[in-house]
Structure 1
């Protein structure tokens, strides 16, 4: 064939046009995000292209190389994905793959379906708690997002067998096998955890599993199981703190971001030390000129902890730049989809699903659409927008099981405006930024509110609302 208009004596076919078609899983779009920050908008698209490229019959790691269902991303990335796509059916299918892939000894391998077993490095690419624990975490998340109790019920025996297996691998309740905080940023080429001591991420996830199983056993009316998992969780917590916590420095292990963040998020930190550990996490970030170090496993928890602590300003400072490895750095290197390494290394995958956790913050933090801690399928909603940095507007929508949730805010002439939509049969608590002497109106009328932690708090039912703080 020859390009159109090019002369040839061989009478070859003429190429009139070439068109590429992108294919993916048929999951319907569930949400959208946009803000006044162009780098964040580009980052959203960067992550979304990696998401779309890796949604097939499984959530693959990359669409061009291994094309395998590496499991860690199916719990670490699933919240980001669920804000954007309705993956209730796909998530259920991933759980089925996990159930059918579980070995007789209870191990859930890192890949499901396990089409291949990588023997390099012994069993490190088969037995990582941060990967296998998807068999417990994913069904729980699917229930919390979609209200699907059936997925919990069918996966419960698999969860129990996996916890029993982890008990056989634990050394005094500490799990050290596997990959750790995969692809973190350290002095060497990325791979197995460099900065976070082996055992921190695996044991933290182990404890998180046990907390989830307590909740599930209670929900399924199995009080003896709940008591058993609580007892084991208490023992794991004691062992974790004895092994990794330094009471003098108030740091976990090496004091690196992933270690402190996961200890906080999983509620392994004793209440009297929580604030100090949080301050150490923030100090480490600030001391590195707001550069990140956490990898595939730890980074989501860094973001979750900072958001929950009301420190989205730190998240903004970490991610509104292109001069150090991160999303902006990948874009500056020419990436059009999320890359496997923070550094956008050309020799590794340059269309990869992992590491896209900032997308969750775009919806839950910047735009502020969150579910209450005890909510199921977003029946109890929190709207908690985070105006940070130079961002003057942000809008997100999420089509929940109850209907459309929308949060659309902007700042004009020092007036904060928020328009929201809350679906029928739900309730919402709105957290508006406040300052001394300001008033809150809705639809032009003053509304009663209480003030806490620098926020005006307003409770609503379903409907459309237009708030102003001025």
Structure 2
């Protein structure tokens, strides 16, 4: 063992000599983003990751420098902030404590660290962050401008249906485009543009689109704010004359009356505000703000609806409209009213992430139906040739009817894209301001006059989603589970825009239950650290005066009960900040939302009767005797009260973290009352079950810690016995299924989870796949009458990563500082490969069976530690790279064998003697 250790150390030293420094820093982040623009946090947080060739590497100190001058930073001068060498093992969420940051300013920063091996890193590469505009004063007089103003009396703001009943949506089919020319006469150091366009905008400068974003800015509560986007346009400006162009679409700001609309909302006609800040090398600064001196005209977008589609008439194009020296007699824009609060975008933008070409096509009379092979959120891109005035109409759909035509019955109809040709050659077009969930595109080519139809040279599906980085991977020996993982992934991808939607077609609304129910699954797949502040703010802005958190946020429509007040939905306001704090270690998730949480708990207390809540949707879409929808198997109030109790437990923990001693007492006292009432109302001691004994009833009672310890195993046995008697058929719905999985896994019954989900003969994941689904469907039964692309019921992904893959955070850890590598080695699975790129770096757990042995390859990132677990039954010996691990270094209990390791790459072999 000593000789092996000696050889290992020599090999590491040789590696360092041949390949450079053994301690390097990478993935520097400010506010959880790489080189972010538009930062408005007055004390932004910094993070970095550590790469070391040596095992057991921990940071013991760091030094951060921040400067407004990159040259000064190269000379190790941090005039804005110099931390000095600080003793700390913290490499995430480092609080800025330097000089006050200025608006619209680029800052440069770098870091170096020292480790526990006596090594220090070189300085990291230089990273940047650029501040946005902190308040209205920073906009320096920029004005909201439009083509026309909508009278207040014609606005339709979200309200109870009785308030808006009879109100008519005003007609508006003119989408404006704006332009402004300006001159640059000096050498530019930096140029930034801050812009909001409602509902959505597309920005261009000197004839070229700025950025690769789609649907800027994100959706929000337009009564209270607008989100603005920041772009670095330094390289887009030329010496001499320049031009800005802005094109607007309706989005959720204005829902037209024509075609499909899920809701009726009119905040106003499209409008924009922007401020271009040009900083010259001589130290001077110049501003170009939107005002009445900008020019405006109608654009070629002749119909724009987030729910109905988009039409474009290429004959209305004005060549060169966004370039300098464009001479047309446009109107002056008018100054209009707009949101009084402008908030900087904090998350990754929506982008086109993948292109799909048709895998087959069907010709039916005068239309062609293209199959892209994947149900996803997206738009089409066409290349077409024809005569002036010819028309292409495209109907997207996720299903086909019995005639093989586009079927939109369950997804919002009519929705379509229309392109009117200008003629004269190949024309390429894609929508700008609307999208749909679809797999198929039905295309009709309509000549303006009798004669040849236009020719479609090509059509593609452009898949769109929030551009949050992928951070996880999972695969195993089971083909159905790999297909299921992909199925769930596509539901997530299809419903990530500026918020998580339920579906990408019929509603596109931010139903809140998935934020906490699917949160763990999502965070294993995508880095959502910068995404979460936006959805939490949506909840704060949606909270009513009474404290209610409605079921959707932003609340673009006020649904009638029980579709507005369900604690299982509203509790995202408490659970998501708590989960996010644990995932990413940012205490601000709790600090900034504590007031919202308090008010919601108070609302629930006021609504309760002796601690019992009876409102809400309960276990939506469970499987009963009737068609799925409202909860059939779980009694009204059980799920609402259970999650209310869990909210109180979480609030007590948060209050403790935030040092709010009196609140701890309040929440603990309330929790005791709720637990007592819950058990009195719902527990049947004779049957050892809760409520009706449904999967959801018993699982939620256990997970939410409502079951007395003396009864817990009885209730777990009840769940398992019931499943066995019913051939392992799942019945739990939207609310309960996650908790069923978690309770079974914690009880060591992943074998039961396998039997429930590794099948295609009854409703579930395999059933959806066998019925042609390529994304999660709204129902376990894959009904064609409901959405077939829905962010719901995807909780098995959490089990894939945590239990089959074995990567989970240790209890009490934050940000994956301490990790449990603890796979459930399910008999029917022979291998699993799993990775997760955490705040500290990539965690890897790859395991396989070799005869009676288990081989486990593990990677633990620097500055983190892990506990490695193996089954104890028939255990003989554990080795690491063929070296025996002394039993004194192992901890054992009745079921498992555990060893603790530091960072590094490891290969374990657990030997078993199977009789």
Relative to the length of structure 1, the TM-score reads 0.97
Structure 1 residue 148: Cα displacement: 1.3
Correspondences of 1:72-91 after superposition (within 5 Å): 72-91=513-532
- 2:486 corresponds to: 45
Q: How far does residue 73 in structure 1 lie from its aligned partner after superposition? A: 0.5
> Displacement, 1:14?
2.9
**What SS does structure 1 have at the residue aligned with 2:837?**
strand
- Farther off after superposition, 449-458 or 128-137: 449-458
Q: For residue 453 of structure 1, report the CA deviation from its aligned partner.
A: 3.2
Cα deviation, 1:287-307, whole Å, max 9, x if unaligned, reads 110011110000000001111
**Distance in 2, Cα, partners of 1:14 & 1:106:** 57
By how many angstroms is 1:2 displaced? 9.5
Measured after TM superposition, the shift of residue 430 of structure 1 is 0.7
> 1:15: Cα distance to partner?
2.4
Pick the aligned partner of 2:614 from 176, 183, 204: 176
Report the Cα offset of residue 203 of structure 1.
0.5
Q: Secondary structure at the match of 2:735?
A: coil
Residue 542 of structure 2 corresponds to which residue in structure 1?
101
Q: 1:38-73 deviations in whole A, cap 9, x for unaligned?
A: 000000000000000000111000001100000001
> Helix, strand or coil: the match of 2:464?
coil
Deviates more, 1:432-441 or 1:144-153: 432-441
Q: Distance in 2 between matches of 1:17 and 1:161?
A: 54
Aligned to 2:219: none
Q: How many Å apart are 1:199 and its aligned residue? A: 1.1
Map residues 312-351 of structure 1 onto 2, 5 A cutoff: 312-351=750-789
Alignment partners' CA distance in 1, 2:576 and 2:906: 34
2:813 counterpart of 1:375? yes
Residue 112 of structure 1 is matched in structure 2 by: 553
1:111-168 residue CA offsets vs partner (Å, 9 max, x unmatched): 000001122xxx2000000000100000000000011111111110000000111011
The structure whose RCO (Cα within 8 Å, separation 6+) is larger is 1
1:469 paired with 2:907, answer: no
Greater share of residues in helix: 1
- Pick aligned residue for 1:27 from 456, 468, 485: 468
Relative to 1, partners in 2 of residues 1:10 and 1:304: Cα closer, same or farther, differing over 3 Å? Answer: same
Are the equivalent residues in 2 in contact too, given 1:363–1:369 (CA < 8 A)? yes
> Aligned to 1:141, which of 579, 597, 612?
579
- 8 A Cα contact 2:513 2:551, kept in partner: yes
Whole-angstrom distance in 2 between the partners of 1:221 and 1:31: 34
Greater Cα shift, 382-391 or 316-325: 382-391
**Structure ranking higher in strand proportion:** 2
Match of 1:57 in 2: 498
Contact 1:2–1:14 (Cα < 8 Å) also in 2:
no
The count of residues paired between Structure 1 and Structure 2 equals: 464
Aligned match for 2:665, one of 227, 230, 233: 227
2-side partners of 1:12 and 1:69: how far apart? Answer: 41
Post-superposition Cα deviations, 1:241-276, rounded to whole Å, max 9, x if no partner, equal 111111122111111110111111111100111111
2:715 to 277, 290, 295: 277
Q: CA deviation at 1:88?
A: 1.2
Per the alignment, in what secondary structure is the counterpart of residue 351 of structure 1? coil
Q: Is 1:125 matched up with 2:563?
A: yes
Map 1:380-459 to 2 at 5 A: 380-436=818-874, 438-447=876-885, 448-459=889-900
1: CA distance between counterparts of 2:746 and 2:873?
A: 20
Contact 2:875–2:910 (Cα < 8 Å) also in 1: no
| RMSD between aligned residues | 1.5
TM-score, scaled to structure 2: 0.50
Separation in structure 1 between the aligned mates of residue 909 and residue 709 of structure 2, nearest angstrom: 36
User: What are the Cα deviations for residues 199-243 of structure 1, in whole angstroms up to 9, with x where unaligned?
Assistant: 110001000000010001011110000110000001100011111
Preserved CA contact (<8 Å) 1:2 1:15? no
Q: Which residue of 1 aligns with 2:603?
A: 165
Query: Matched residues in 2 for 1:195 and 1:396: separation?
Result: 35
Partner residue, 1:189 = 627
SS at match of 1:34: strand
CA shift for structure 1 position 414: 2.1
1:463: how far off? 1.0
Change (3 A) 1:2 1:315: closer
Structure 1's unaligned 5+ residue stretches are none
Unmatched runs of 5 consecutive residues or more in structure 2: 1-365, 369-383, 385-446
Q: CA deviation at 1:437?
A: 5.2
